[in-house]
Amino acid sequence: MSHNYEVGVVGASGYSGIELCRLLAQHPDLALRFVASERWEGETVRARTGIGGAVGALRYVAVQRAVGLARSAAAVLLATPADVSLRLAPGLLEAGVRVVDLSGAFRLGSPEAYPAAYGFAHPHPALLAEAVYGLPELGRSGLGGARLVANPGCYPTAAALAVAPLLAAGVLADEAVVVDAASGITGAGRQAQESFSFAEVDEDVRAYRVLRHQHTPEIAQSFARARGRRVAVTFTAHLLPVRRGILSTASARLAAGASPEQLRAALDSAYGTEPLVEVVGSPEEVSLRSVVGTPRARIGLACATDGFDPGRVVIVSALDNLLKGAASQAIQNLNAMLGLGETRGLVFERGGEAP
């Protein structure tokens, strides 16, 4: 394989970081040169993940060495908590290294939103203003040549892909959009908390962070950008007793004068040529099984023309929270930043996904 760009992964022992390593191990244009993790420092990638080849032979280094090692790299992917990303990103950018950040550190456009959403005052408002929000299907124009890309959250990706094209097309009424979504346990990251243990999660489903989830401002931001003004949003997250995947159900109302056919037309117009978003005939065709293990999202909608609530619109979307909701979307963004085809390393020419 011909590798044209060297990259590094910081936070490589987390679920998303491991997926990044798997994807980079077979990428035709990107060579993974270092992996950083305090948890697994000194151990090999192969010993911890089973990944073979040159990537498997790499040894995890301490996170504090990342900036120095990155000086010879074209880009670094930060699969780190927001506070770590905020500490590392400025030094990487100063060294001329492009950054794709998988945390929430640079996702919100306004620094004033951070204290409520993430519990801290943003220390780098200039970088926040520079950061490009990396959801390519809804706006890829700023990705080419960007220095800093904020990789979207998994829940916001599922919600925005489903609803934003309809808001942009003006086919939804000016009412609140309600989003209920459920994620596999890996969406919580590697947390040694009793509430995320197998015995607590198995055979149970529960809502969490109700009316205070940190992804709500990000979802509202995507909706407002699509509509051109503020959109009222209620978002509720649920935890599923499965490893991975997100199923999101959004409820809205058809705009006066709009038709159900225009809803489908809006989705087809947005995604008709997109290789990583599939619009299907009905919400019942959307499931975790149809997307887990792939870099694709799937969307289906229905609109009530009679019955108990005429004009009700329901849009169901699904994606793999570790891939389209994190790692594969980060690679998609990095590909675009470096001038490569967005699906390089994600979809083979024969049409199948990367393993």
Model confidence at 151: pLDDT above 60: yes
User: For residue 212, what pLDDT is reported?
Assistant: 95
Do 320 and 255 contact (CB within 8 A), yes or no?
no
Which residues is 78 bridged to in the sheet?
10, 101
Sequence ranges of the chain with CATH classification 3.30.360.10: 155-319
Pick the CATH number of 155-319 from 1.20.1630.10, 3.40.50.720, 3.30.360.10, 1.10.3720.10: 3.30.360.10
More confident residue, 293 or 197: 293
More confident residue, 104 or 192: 104
DSSP-assigned letter for residue 352: P
User: For residue 112, what pLDDT is reported?
Assistant: 96
Q: What span, in angstroms and rounded, lies between the C-alpha atoms of 70 and 75? A: 8
* pLDDT tens, position by position, 203-259: 899 999 999 999 999 999 999 999 999 999 999 999 999 999 999 999 999 999 999
Which residues in the chain belong to E strands, given as ranges? 5-10, 30-36, 60-61, 75-78, 98-101, 132-133, 148-150, 177-183, 206-208, 233-239, 246-253, 277-279, 297-303, 312-319
Model confidence at 350: pLDDT above 50: no
Which of 7, 30, 78, 154 is catalytic? The answer is 154
Which residues is 277 bridged to in the sheet?
297
Res. 347 pLDDT band, cuts 50 70 90: confident
* Coil, strand or helix at 158: helix
Sequence ranges of the chain with CATH classification 3.40.50.720: 5-151+326-337
Model confidence at 352: pLDDT above 60: no
Third-level CATH fold of 5-151+326-337 = Rossmann fold (3.40.50)
Model confidence at 194: pLDDT above 90: no
CA atoms within 13 A on the CB side of 34: 23
Model confidence at 200: pLDDT above 90: no
- Is 21 one of the annotated active-site residues of the chain? no
Question: Looking at this protein, which amino acid is placed at residue 161?
Answer: L
* pLDDT tens, position by position, 255-310: 999 999 999 999 999 999 999 999 999 999 999 999 999 999 999 999 999 999 99
User: For residue 187, what pLDDT is reported?
Assistant: 80
Find the mean pLDDT for residues 116-133. 96
Hey, what are 201's tokens?
Answer: 């999660």
Res. 198 pLDDT band, cuts 50 70 90: confident
Model confidence at 1: pLDDT above 70: no
Q: What span, in angstroms and rounded, lies between the C-alpha atoms of 113 and 266? A: 30
